[in-house]
């Protein structure tokens, strides 16, 4: 693979508060749109949070907010495409903030996110794939293992991204109709393989696949870019 | 006058919903200023104006879904031209002036001509410049097999539901989580919830139908059979008596596999912590053949032929107490690396007597692997209630006739199957083995091995 274009890689440790990460991501995307900064990829984990995309309907949240809060979670309505999903410990989240060029092909961006997930699953011995009957996402059989949702700024710069269940506590998904598909299940690498698969095991290869599939060469970002994520990390 | 269309965001995205107008009729807009928000299946975006001017008309209501290319807004940009000046706001917005308008009428919104907005002096790779397209091929991994999801299997297992008794309501007749839950809630609705595996009971009795006793005499030792030995004896005898066993063999050229393994075995072990043997590759190739010919993956239940849509692969493992067949559950959801790890784990725990009872039950097909001990051809007994058992014997360099009638040295192996003629006929057995052979001789395992 030839050298890709330079991109910042942010890998804050611990669980990063969703609101802080979301705001920092939008800030990076606005600067990317203004061509002030190169592409950037954020790879992190969040504390438990349900996020509702623009297509989510209220009845797809099956727990009331009191129940969610009692379990230590939160609910956020956000600006990406798609329906409800869950983020939480044990889930590898990647947010590529990349310029799509003068002829933006958002579908190709979705396919690249899927490809990263498929290759990452294959590395640990899980045969995951796209499905012919559902437009987006990566599946093991009938169960979704990687959720995908994206927003674009002025059709040119990407936000949000993919969430791959490594050893996520899947009980959280009982709280929503994931991705608006009531008869589909969710799964994780740990469930498929019957062993612990911590995010730390998967993240290095996932980062490598992001670089390959998106054609990026990662460089360290300046400290001031990293700082908000570090400050937002809870133990 | 410029007409703004629902933009094309990729060939597979064919329509979009206007979520919100960010500009109303009469508003002034600058070039590249967001005009409206749209939503597609998984992508939302704001759509910027390709021109500076005044919004004269909103053509559809918020919440309306329209096909890509549909005019949704008109902007008076002072050009005076009407109709023909139609423009997709984006991607045209950032197309360099030198770009020519797309000639292909099939994709009107792909590239309309427009005044390029002034862009700030780029300090880095501009978001609007063509990104170097990653030269990454994304292989078509083919249609998904009609498999059951692990969650459905687990749920059914936890609740003691026999999936073969449930009618699937999912797409293509698949059994969904809801089907299992419904069957749990109303067990009477299903025709029977648990089908116990045939036990060694009746067969064990058959062992007792023995020739007249011949106790140990001088120079002979006598020892009671272990429980494991008795169980194996009962199982084998029952199979020999109850199946209509036939046998078919193919010869497979594994030259490529031998070379691949020699090349990558050290890296594989370093990466994945298990030795790379041929068994996982043969298992993967066999699973594909089982999916092509599901009857080979089936079993007889009375006068019903039960065909699982998943593959639980039994792997015969010899250990100090005898022979045991641990089962790689959901093997059809694993790639070769996953299979290699699962086999290594099960075999190690079998040999240290740490298998759980459910780990030796539920095989839908079985592979035995006497090759390492030097066997060239084996005729195994079928592991009931499976329809067949595949034998992987020793790989050997042999002189073979190759193209142009030349004789060459190639790594070859005999792969054979004992099969139950009650379920399978010779044509199917042979086509199945031919598929296994084809897979092993043509597949590129390097990708599947993650190296």
B412 by DSSP, 3-state: which?
strand
Query: Locate tokens 């290869």: which residue?
Result: A205
Name, in order, each residue with C-beta under 8 angstroms of A227's C-beta and a sequence gap of 6 or more: none
> Cα–Cα distance between A235 and A8 in angstroms, integer?
24
Give residue B190's pLDDT: 33
Question: B9 to chain A, minimum CA–CA distance in Å?
Answer: 5
Residue A100 in contact with residue A155, Cβ under 8 Å? yes
CA distances from B281 to B142, B192, B217, B445 (A): 19, 37, 49, 8
Residue of chain A minimizing CA distance to B337: A125
Shortest CB distance from A212 goes to which of B125, B136, B176?
B136
Give residue B158's pLDDT: 63
Residue of chain B minimizing CA distance to A101: B130
Mean pLDDT estimate for chain A: 90
Q: Do B337 and A122 touch (CB under 8 A)?
A: yes
Q: Do B176 and A183 touch (CB under 8 A)?
A: yes
Q: Structure tokens of A27?
A: 């800030």
Shortest CB distance from A33 goes to which of B96, B127, B154?
B127
Name, in order, each residue with C-beta under 8 angstroms of B145's C-beta and a sequence gap of 6 or more: B291, B309, B332
* Per-residue pLDDT tens digits for A27-38: 999 999 999 999
Query: Locate tokens 């965001």: which residue?
Result: B9
Q: Is B98 on the interface with A (CB under 8 A)?
A: no
Cβ contacts from A onto B, under 8 A: 230
Residue A24: name the closest of A33, A36, A16 by CA.
Answer: A16
Give the model's confidence band at A162: pLDDT under 50 very low, under 70 low, under 90 confident, else very high: very high
Q: Structure tokens of B148?
A: 């059951």
Give residue A141's pLDDT: 86
Give residue B175's pLDDT: 63
Q: Is B425 a catalytic residue?
A: yes
State which H helix or E strand residue B135 sits in. Answer: none
Q: Do A125 and B39 touch (CB under 8 A)?
A: no
Residue of chain B minimizing CA distance to A97: B127
- Chain B hits for A143, Cβ within 8 Å: 149-151
Shortest CB distance from A154 goes to which of B34, B96, B134?
B34
Which residues 366-395 of B have a C-beta within 8 angstroms of A? none
> Cα–Cα distance between B135 and A27 in angstroms, integer?
29
State which H helix or E strand residue B178 sits in. Answer: helix B177-185
Residue B156: name the closest of B300, B310, B287 by CA.
Answer: B310
Residue A177 in contact with residue A62, Cβ under 8 Å? yes
Is cis: bond before B62, omega within 30 of 0? no
Query: Locate tokens 């014997």: which residue?
Result: B393
Taking only the tens of pLDDT, chain B with its 451 residues reads: 889 999 888 777 788 889 889 999 999 999 999 999 998 878 889 999 999 999 999 998 888 888 888 899 999 988 765 444 444 444 433 333 333 333 333 333 333 333 333 333 334 556 655 444 445 555 544 333 334 444 555 566 666 666 666 666 554 455 666 666 666 654 333 333 333 333 444 444 444 455 678 888 888 888 888 877 888 888 899 999 999 999 999 999 999 999 999 999 999 999 888 999 999 999 999 999 999 999 999 999 988 999 999 999 999 988 887 888 999 999 999 999 999 999 999 999 888 888 877 788 899 999 999 998 899 999 999 999 999 999 999 999 999 999 889 999 999 999 999 999 999 999 999 999 999 999 999 998 988 887 6
Across residues A210-214, what is the average pLDDT? 95
* pLDDT score of A65 more than 60: yes
Answer with the residue of higher pLDDT: A135 or B350.
Answer: B350
Counting beta carbons within 10 angstroms of the beta carbon of residue B119, is it exposed (0 to 12), middle (13 to 18) or buried (19 or more)? middle
State which H helix or E strand residue B130 sits in. Answer: none
- Pairing verdict, β B365-368 and B313-315: parallel
Residue of chain B minimizing CA distance to A186: B151
* Per-residue pLDDT tens digits for A143-160: 999 999 999 999 999 999
B295 by DSSP, 3-state: which?
helix
The secondary structure of residue B329, as a DSSP letter, is: T
- Chain B hits for A217, Cβ within 8 Å: none
State which H helix or E strand residue B262 sits in. Answer: helix B255-272
**Mutation choice for B interface testing from A31, A82, A107 by most B CBs within 10 A:** A107
Question: A92 to chain B, minimum CA–CA distance in Å?
Answer: 19
- DSSP annotation string for chain A: ----EEEEEE---SEEPHHHHHHHHHHHHHHHHTTSS-EEEEEEB-SSEEEE-TT--GGGB-S-HHHHHHTT--EEE-SSSSSEEEE-TTEEEEEEE-B--SS--HHHHHHHHHHHHHHHHHHTTB--B--SSSSS-EEETTEEEEEEEEEEETTTEEEEEEEEESS--GGGGGGB-GGG-TT-EE--HHHHHTS---HHHHHHHHHHHHHHHHTEEEEPPPHHHHHHHHHHEE-
Name, in order, each residue with C-beta under 8 angstroms of B77's C-beta and a sequence gap of 6 or more: B1, B2, B51, B52, B53, B115
B205 by DSSP, 3-state: which?
helix
Q: Structure tokens of A57?
A: 């309907």
Residue A103 in contact with residue B111, Cβ under 8 Å? yes
ipTM: 0.84
Dihedral in degrees, nearest 10, Cα atoms B443, B444, B450, B451:
150
Q: Is B118 on the interface with A (CB under 8 A)?
A: no
> Cα–Cα distance between B198 and B306 in angstroms, integer?
14
Give residue B355's pLDDT: 80
- Nearest-Å Rg of the Cα atoms of chain A is 17
Q: Which residues pair with B419 in a beta bridge?
A: B246, B388
Shortest CB distance from A55 goes to which of B39, B170, B178?
B39
Q: Do A99 and B90 touch (CB under 8 A)?
A: no
Give residue B91's pLDDT: 41
**Mutation choice for B interface testing from A1, A85, A141 by most B CBs within 10 A:** A141
* pLDDT score of A83 more than 80: yes
Give residue B227's pLDDT: 76
Residue B338: name the closest of B158, B152, B150 by CA.
Answer: B150
Q: What is the value of pTM for the model shown?
A: 0.55
């Amino acid at each position: 693979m030839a050298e890709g274009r330079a991109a910042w890689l942010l890998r804050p440790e611990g669980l990063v508060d969703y609101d802080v990460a979301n705001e920092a991501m939008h800030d990076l995307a606005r600067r990317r749109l203004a061509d002030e900064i190169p592409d950037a990829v954020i790879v992190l984990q969040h504390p438990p949070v349900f996020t509702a995309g623009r297509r989510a309907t209220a009845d797809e949240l099956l727990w009331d907010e009191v129940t969610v809060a009692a379990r230590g979670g939160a609910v956020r309505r956000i600006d990406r495409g798609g329906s409800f999903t869950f983020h939480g410990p044990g889930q590898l989240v990647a947010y590529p903030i990349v310029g799509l060029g003068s002829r933006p092909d958002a579908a190709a961006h979705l396919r690249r996110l899927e490809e990263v997930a498929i290759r990452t699953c294959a590395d640990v011995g899980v045969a995951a794939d796209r499905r012919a009957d559902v437009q987006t996402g990566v599946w093991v059989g009938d169960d979704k293992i990687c959720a995908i949702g994206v927003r674009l700024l002025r059709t040119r710069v990407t936000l949000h991204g993919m969430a791959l269940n490594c050893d996520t506590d899947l009980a959280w998904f009982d709280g929503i109709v994931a991705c608006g598909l009531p008869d589909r299940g969710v799964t994780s690498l740990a469930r498929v393989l019957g062993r612990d698969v911590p995010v730390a095991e998967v993240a290095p290869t996932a980062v490598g696949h992001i670089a390959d599939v998106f054609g990026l060469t990662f460089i360290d970002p300046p400290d001031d870019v990293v700082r908000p994520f570090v400050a937002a990390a809870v133990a | 006058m410029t007409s703004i269309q629902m933009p094309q965001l990729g060939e597979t995205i064919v329509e979009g919903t206007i979520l919100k107008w960010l500009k109303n009729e009469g508003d002034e807009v600058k070039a590249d200023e967001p005009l409206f928000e749209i939503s597609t299946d998984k992508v939302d975006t704001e759509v910027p104006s390709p021109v500076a001017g005044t919004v004269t008309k909103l053509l559809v209501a918020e919440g309306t879904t329209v096909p890509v290319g549909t005019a949704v807004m008109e902007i008076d940009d002072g050009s005076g031209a009407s109709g023909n000046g139609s423009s997709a706001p984006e991607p045209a917005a950032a197309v360099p002036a030198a770009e020519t308008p797309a000639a292909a009428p099939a994709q009107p919104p792909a590239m309309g001509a427009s005044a390029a907005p002034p862009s700030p002096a780029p300090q880095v790779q501009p978001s609007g410049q063509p990104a170097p397209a990653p030269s990454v091929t994304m292989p078509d991994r083919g249609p998904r097999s009609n498999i059951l999801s692990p969650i459905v299997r687990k749920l059914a297992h936890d609740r003691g539901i026999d999936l073969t008794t449930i009618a699937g309501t999912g797409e293509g007749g698949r059994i969904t989580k809801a089907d299992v839950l419904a069957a749990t809630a109303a067990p009477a609705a299903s025709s029977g919830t648990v089908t116990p595996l045939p036990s060694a009971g009746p067969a064990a009795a058959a062992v007792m139908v023995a020739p007249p006793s011949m106790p140990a005499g001088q120079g002979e030792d006598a020892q009671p059979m272990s429980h494991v030995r008795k169980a194996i004896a009962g199982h084998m005898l029952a199979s020999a008596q109850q199946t209509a066993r036939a046998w078919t063999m193919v010869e497979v050229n594994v030259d490529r596999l031998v070379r691949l393994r020699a090349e990558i075995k050290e890296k594989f072990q370093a990466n994945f912590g298990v030795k790379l043997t041929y068994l996982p590759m043969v298992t993967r190739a066999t699973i594909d053949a089982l999916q092509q010919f599901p009857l080979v993956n089936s079993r007889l239940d009375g006068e019903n032929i039960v065909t699982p849509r998943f593959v639980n692969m039994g792997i015969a493992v010899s250990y100090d107490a005898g022979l045991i067949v641990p089962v790689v559950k959901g093997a059809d959801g694993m790639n070769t690396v996953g299979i290699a790890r699962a086999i290594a784990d099960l075999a190690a725990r079998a040999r240290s007597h740490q298998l759980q009872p459910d780990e030796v039950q539920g095989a839908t097909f079985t592979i035995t692997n006497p090759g390492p001990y030097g066997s060239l051809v084996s005729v195994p007994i079928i592991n009931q209630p499976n329809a067949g058992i595949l034998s992987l014997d020793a790989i050997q360099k042999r002189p073979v006739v190759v193209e142009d009638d030349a004789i060459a040295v190639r790594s070859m192996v005999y792969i054979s199957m004992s099969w139950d003629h009650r379920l399978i006929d010779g044509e199917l057995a042979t086509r199945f083995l031919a598929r296994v052979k084809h897979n092993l001789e043509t597949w590129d395992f390097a990708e599947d091995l993650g190296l």
